[in-house]
Amino acid sequence: MTIDSRTIRSIARDCGFELCGVASAEPPADFARFESWTAEGHAGDMRYLTDRRAEIRRDVRNLLAEAKSVICVGKLYNQRGSPAPPGCAVISRYAWGSDYHEILRAGLEKMVERLQEHARFEWKICVDTAPLLERTFARLAGLGWIGKNTCLINEPLGSWFFLGELITSLDLAPDSPPPDRCGTCTRCIDACPTRAFVPAGDSWAIDARRCIAYFTIELRGSIPEEFRAPMGMHVFGCDICQEVCPWNSRAPVTDSFEDVHHAPALEACAAMTEEEFREAFRHTALARPKYAGFLRNVAVAMGNSGLPRFRQSLERLAAHPDATVAEHARWALARIQESSTYSR
């Protein structure tokens, strides 16, 4: 039996994916761009992008020796949500519900079962954490272009997508990448509070060392002081560069993900014990920064709020046994004092 692109797309839709396309498993030319990006230090302290796993990204056959095609999928996660009220944390919308890794993997496993009704093949599922240039393969598979904000953008549907890949031994006809339609627009670049976007040849790249998402999720230890105030109320991630993108102005919404952790109250976050933190965010992306990193982020947001009511919470955090948490809480107390002085 054989399998064609139309069948693959139909199965992908049935398995909960709004986008689907096929790319060749041949090594992508974009690896040179990735090498240049890491050589410039733009990966920050994300060693999983620069250690031995970096070279694995050169060729997907390092992940599946028999690979001939990569089936790429996208799952919409855009949800309706009002702006975070004063005194509440800003959480990137992809983390409002359950961990997307588990949801995408389940959908891809279902795809494998359905596809093997038509053909037998070797396969490997990749969801975000695998050493794979997934946006590159998604672009080559026709899912969208990589915008100036470094997100994959689909012309009718926008950029609010999780990406997943099914590396296969199937010899499938590849799709074609769409044209870049960012044009002269620089809204994402202009809107970034920390100026995290940097020129990269004929395009743009993100310098993680200046990125709010990196500070709040990936960075362990102290956040550089110059970037704390521009972080605003962000406690986990940042969506600014997607929120201002014109291609997202009509992006569809989905009810596939529950809204559990949208805009939690900062006082409640600051009062969490480590056990409560683990229980509240088990099976969610919010567990990523770990307990101390989460409290560090909460302290910064409290300081940026300028609200005197947070002093008591911050005084408790300033006595926290974790030195990084305590240092950021002291910074936040000073910032609230400064705000109170200026408001008189």
List pLDDT tens digits, range 145-176: 999 999 999 999 999 999 999 999 999 999 99
Residues in the chain: 344
What mean pLDDT comes out for the span 214-219? 98
Average pLDDT for the chain: 95
Phi, psi of 148 (to 5 degrees): -65, -25
pLDDT tens track for 83-107: 899 999 999 999 998 899 999 999 9
Quickly list H helices, the chain.
5-14, 31-39, 52-56, 100-115, 134-140, 187-191, 212-213, 225-228, 240-243, 266-270, 274-281, 290-305, 311-318, 323-342
Please tell me the pTM assigned to this model. 0.95
Distance CA 151, CA 158 (A): 10
The confidence score (pLDDT) of residue 98 equals 87
What mean pLDDT comes out for the span 3-28? 96
User: How many CB atoms are located within 10 Å of the residue 214 CB?
Assistant: 24
Structure confidence at residue 129 as a pLDDT band (50, 70, 90): confident
Distance CA 113, CA 110 (A): 5
The confidence score (pLDDT) of residue 198 equals 96
The confidence score (pLDDT) of residue 205 equals 97
Looking only at the bridges linking them, the beta strands covering 19-24 and 69-76 are: antiparallel
pLDDT tens track for 254-275: 988 878 889 999 999 999 999 9
> DSSP code of 144?
-
User: Does position 200 have pLDDT exceeding 60, yes or no?
Assistant: yes
Structure confidence at residue 1 as a pLDDT band (50, 70, 90): low
User: Does position 179 have pLDDT exceeding 90, yes or no?
Assistant: yes
- Cβ(150)–Cβ(136) under 8 Å? no
The confidence score (pLDDT) of residue 338 equals 86
The confidence score (pLDDT) of residue 80 equals 82
Residues forming beta bridges with residue 154, ordered by sequence position: 158
Closest to 151 in 3D by CA, of 79, 32, 215, 238: 238
Q: Is 128 a catalytic residue?
A: yes
- Provide the 3-class DSSP secondary structure of residue 88: strand
Closest to 132 in 3D by CA, of 70, 76, 217: 70
Q: Which of 30, 59, 99, 128 is catalytic?
A: 128
Distance CA 262, CA 99 (A): 14
What mean pLDDT comes out for the span 63-72? 98
The confidence score (pLDDT) of residue 258 equals 78
